[in-house]
Amino acid sequence: MPYVNVAKENATNIELYYEDHGSGDAVVLIHGYPLSGASWEKQIPVLLDAGHRVITYDRRGFGKSSQPTTGYDYDTFAEDLHKLVTHLKLRNFTLVGFSMGGGEVARYLGKYGSAGVSKAVFIGSVPPFLLKTPDNPEGVDGAVFEGIQKAIMADRYVFFTEFFNNFFNTDVLLGKSVSEQAIQASWNVAAGASATASLACVATWHEDFREDLRRIDVPTLVIHGDADRIVPFSASGLRAAKLIKGASLVTVKDGPHCIIWTHADEVNRELVNFLGKGLAKPAASASRKESAA
């Protein structure tokens, strides 16, 4: 299995597991919490069919990657991504981040610039700044994040069960857009993640990415469900699209947080159209596309 060494913890290598398929312009897919690169299974074949080289990887602490007790911050996550990109010698590639993965996209572009990056996509992502502060009144109260941390420390397996109910909006979509088996599969991946990472990543969700977004100078697409219970649309996707110069915003009507699964056809159409390769069917009326410039 392919791994890239990104750091060390004491004498042990910290390695990221990745998969690299297809040819053409590369698309790097960055997963959300608490999943792995395998969560992109509904996007990978479509992007390959559209003529792209598709790369997924598991964030440190998750999936098949190493599970260190250090490095759970966005500067390190972006550095890990940069080392993967350098290892693969990528050029003219697109960064696509779902949920927490959008933070890597933002920090990567804010820290390393857009050299070699052709486009960026944020799907249900945490930027620009989720924490409510005096200069960010649209954010989420800090007590919410503290409650999540307490729940994880008490019993992360119970926490994941409730988390995925809101991840997929199961009270509305179970048996329609998502099955019990798919939810169980996600829970299994989460249960296999590092306990340290499961807790430490919560504090990263309210990282301030506002300056990172202002530095983005490549074509950017923001896709977000308007029924997202994990990362509220009004606090994230809507504001992110306004901060990124020239960004396009696609709002998925009644879309929960995990629209890459429940609304995969719609997300895939928008991705293929934005990336400019392959033939995509016209977008259904379930999405509302608008300019955020």
Question: Cβ–Cβ contacts within 10 Å for residue 265, how many?
Answer: 14
Active site residue 228: yes
- Look up the pTM and report it: 0.94
Tens-of-pLDDT digits for all 293 residues of the chain? Answer: 699 999 999 999 999 999 999 999 999 999 999 999 999 999 999 999 999 999 999 999 999 999 999 999 999 999 999 999 999 999 999 999 999 999 999 999 999 999 999 999 999 999 999 999 999 998 999 999 999 999 999 999 999 999 999 999 999 999 999 999 999 999 999 999 999 999 999 999 999 999 999 999 999 999 999 999 999 999 999 999 999 999 999 999 999 999 999 999 999 999 999 998 633 333 443 444 544 44
Active site residue 99: yes
| Per annotation, catalytic residue among 52, 206, 257, 263 | 257
Question: 61-84 in b/e burial notation, b at 16+ Cβ within 10 A?
Answer: bbbbbbbbeebbbbebbbbbbbeb
pLDDT in the model for residue 278: 38
| Per annotation, catalytic residue among 39, 65, 99, 198 | 99
Domains of the chain: 3-291 (3.40.50.1820)
Active site residue 257: yes
| Per annotation, catalytic residue among 58, 65, 228, 263 | 228
